[in-house]
Copies of this chain bind each other. A is one copy, B any other.
Amino acid sequence: MTQVPPRRTRSGGRAGAARRRGGEVIEQMPWNPPLLVDRPVEPLTDEGVYAIHDGAMRILEEIGIEFLNHEALEILRTAGCTIDGENVRMGRDMVMEYLALAPDTFTLTPRNPDRAITIGGNHMNFGNVSSPPNYWDLELGRKVPGTREMCQNLLKLSQYFNCIHFVGGYPVEPVDIHASVRHLDVLYDKLTITDKVAHAYSLGPERVEDVMEMVRISGGWTHEEFEASPKMYTNINSTSPLKHDIPMLDGWMRLARRNQGLVVTPFTLAGAMAPVTMAGAVAQSLAEALCAVVLAQIIRPGAACAIGTFTSNVDMKSGAPAFGTPEYMRATQMTGQLARFYKLPMRSSGVCAANVPDGQAMWETSNSLWAAVQSGSHMVYHAAGWLEGGLIASPEKFIMDCEVLQQIQRYLDPALWATGPDEIALDAIKSVGNAGHFFGIQHTQDRYTTAFYQPFLSDWKNYEGWEAAGGIWTPERAHHIFKDIIANFEEPPMDDAIRAELADFVARRKSEGGAPTDY
């Protein structure tokens, strides 16, 4: 806490209060998921793309992937895969045939249809940090296990910020709730505190079915309506190298059958669970992801699938994972090239290795977020709030990341580089001539309120002005905004009957004991 002496906290608090306008804690950009307008950055030549594709195919043909789920094994055997115990091999012709069935674009529609998001094409969407077991904020000044209240507060940030377009897994794991019923309480919180696209962990049949049912209830949908188009999604991780486990595959198949969104993200750290060479790590990641997409397409031709990348490197001196590195950036761009080769939507992440929301956290996170833009990513997980390689969720980091995400949204607005006569502004330049300034002229007055990105966290005052306002460093300013948002948070509207039905479902499932925890 030496970072935040009490006096500063109070002075910052006043600054926070001063920021309020018209009931809003901050002035933020409207809900408007950005469109990717630039050519992606593509390090690989066509030959390079083919070499990685060929590598992925040879892994599937010659080495095989272990599927620990026997139901999945039977489905793959029937479809013509070569099964040897739990090892599954499949030929590239079969793989490409099933990949061709997957849509290149799909829509996820939450209980609030105005918050529907498109996955694929040139659509980009940001999600909150997901699944850290621990929490850190400036007031605590230390790392602590997550609680339901911390999880609720991070869900409130996820709902509050218009630059957060979908809600991933638990923004922090509330370990104060027993694992058997945790999914019930958190999904109740998630579905009442937010009205954005929700996610189900594939951690056993009961949890998956409970979450799908709660999402169905939240939208007031019949079962038929729920299954008519994707309303939610799951994300599964392979157990690298080359393995898919029982519960992940179970959830994957359950959501496929009910036509929900499917994202598969191998976690291939080069030098640890994958080759030390990035091309090999990407090829392995693709092999692990593509065979899951094949399984989904066998179960439901046309199932909504996206492949994720989590290929980074480890510190070869300590074995510690590294994030937001040059290797991470290029692996993400390379995966983007292959995702376009396979015509599949892509998911990447906003990540860092830093333990606190300082300079390192922001250059690592900026690297990973710009790589998401450069790679043409459609879903960006962990885009706000991630620290310590995903082991810590931080509200200050969440606020800081949202400032960067808003800047990315503005960066992608073509109005910024319009070149019509009004933008070239020759008459304005002529009117000012060789002296004077542009502040007062009509051309400026007509545009100044919307001409430039307006930050809510960045402090653009000069040093003296910044010092007079308390000399507050970025994470502390973020802390005050966090407190203000929580203090002023209003839940999105929900029909009382639906809220009651959700509560009844949670109560009934708790009385039945929730989900088994002996796996």
Using CB atoms, name the residue of chain B closest to A370: B370
Report the Cα distance A251→B39, complex, angstroms: 41
**Residue A180, interface by CB 8 Å:** no
8 smallest A-B Cβ distances: which pairs? A280-B425, A275-B425, A326-B411, A55-B424, A366-B366, A51-B419, A277-B423, A279-B423
Flag if B325 contacts A429 (CB, 8 Å): no
**Min CB–CB distance A404 → chain B (angstroms):** 5
**Residue A246, interface by CB 8 Å:** no
Within 8 A of B (CB), among A309-327: 313-322, 325-327
Q: Which of A184-192, A198-206, A457-465, A508-516 contacts B (4 or more CB under 8 A)?
A: A457-465
Flag if A453 contacts B273 (CB, 8 Å): no
**A475 surroundings in chain B (CB, below 8 A):** 358-359
Flag if A407 contacts B326 (CB, 8 Å): yes
Assuming the contacts A277-B447, A358-B359, A411-B330, asked whether A419 and B44 have C-beta atoms less than 8 A apart, the reply is yes
**Min CB–CB distance A243 → chain B (angstroms):** 5
Beyond A280-B428, A313-B453, A359-B361, 4 additional pairs, beta carbon < 8 A: A59-B429, A280-B425, A283-B425, A360-B458
The residue that A327 contacts in the complex, of B277, B358, B416, B473, with Cβ under 8 A, is B416
**Min CB–CB distance A171 → chain B (angstroms):** 18
Report the Cα distance A223→B461, complex, angstroms: 48
The residue that A87 contacts in the complex, of B317, B360, B365, B434, with Cβ under 8 A, is B434
Flag if B315 contacts A460 (CB, 8 Å): yes
In this complex, the member of A48, A448, A452 whose beta carbon has the largest number of chain B beta carbons within 10 angstroms is A452
**Min CB–CB distance A83 → chain B (angstroms):** 14
**A275 surroundings in chain B (CB, below 8 A):** 423, 425, 428-429, 438, 443-444
**Residue A276, interface by CB 8 Å:** yes
The residue that A452 contacts in the complex, of B243, B313, B365, B463, with Cβ under 8 A, is B313
**Min CB–CB distance A205 → chain B (angstroms):** 24
What string of 1s and 0s marks CB contacts (under 8 Å) between A1-17 and chain B?
01101001000000000
**Residue A271, interface by CB 8 Å:** yes
**Residue A218, interface by CB 8 Å:** no
Flag if B277 contacts A451 (CB, 8 Å): yes
What string of 1s and 0s marks CB contacts (under 8 Å) between A428-449 and chain B?
1110111111110001100111
**Min CB–CB distance A439 → chain B (angstroms):** 6
What string of 1s and 0s marks CB contacts (under 8 Å) between A347-382 and chain B?
000000111111111111111001000000000000
Within 8 A of B (CB), among A141-166: 143
Interface residues, chain A, with chain B CB atoms under 8 Å away: 2-3, 5, 8, 37-39, 41-44, 47-48, 51-52, 54-55, 58-59, 62-66, 87, 134, 136, 143, 241-243, 270-280, 283-284, 313-322, 325-327, 329-330, 334, 353-367, 370, 388-389, 391-392, 400, 403-404, 407-408, 410-411, 413-414, 416-420, 422-426, 428-430, 432-439, 443-444, 447-449, 451-454, 457-463, 466-467, 473-475
Flag if B404 contacts A447 (CB, 8 Å): no
Assuming the contacts A55-B424, A271-B448, asked whether A243 and B277 have C-beta atoms less than 8 A apart, the reply is no
Assuming the contacts A275-B425, A275-B428, asked whether A403 and B270 have C-beta atoms less than 8 A apart, the reply is no
Flag if B474 contacts A360 (CB, 8 Å): yes
Using CB atoms, name the residue of chain B closest to A329: B411
In this complex, the member of A44, A425, A444, A454 whose beta carbon has the largest number of chain B beta carbons within 10 angstroms is A425
**A272 surroundings in chain B (CB, below 8 A):** 437-439
Using CB atoms, name the residue of chain B closest to A422: B277
Report the Cα distance A439→B454, complex, angstroms: 47
Flag if A242 contacts B434 (CB, 8 Å): yes
Assuming the contacts A275-B428, A276-B448, A453-B325, asked whether A458 and B364 have C-beta atoms less than 8 A apart, the reply is yes
Flag if B430 contacts A63 (CB, 8 Å): yes
Flag if A458 contacts B353 (CB, 8 Å): yes
**A356 surroundings in chain B (CB, below 8 A):** 473
**A3 surroundings in chain B (CB, below 8 A):** 2-3, 473
Assuming the contacts A241-B434, A242-B434, A360-B459, asked whether A279 and B411 have C-beta atoms less than 8 A apart, the reply is no
**Min CB–CB distance A450 → chain B (angstroms):** 9
Flag if A425 contacts B359 (CB, 8 Å): no
**A66 surroundings in chain B (CB, below 8 A):** 434
**Min CB–CB distance A129 → chain B (angstroms):** 15
Flag if A367 contacts B367 (CB, 8 Å): no
**Min CB–CB distance A364 → chain B (angstroms):** 7
Flag if B276 contacts A52 (CB, 8 Å): no
Flag if B363 contacts A451 (CB, 8 Å): no
Using CB atoms, name the residue of chain B closest to A356: B473
**A326 surroundings in chain B (CB, below 8 A):** 407-408, 410-411, 413, 416, 453
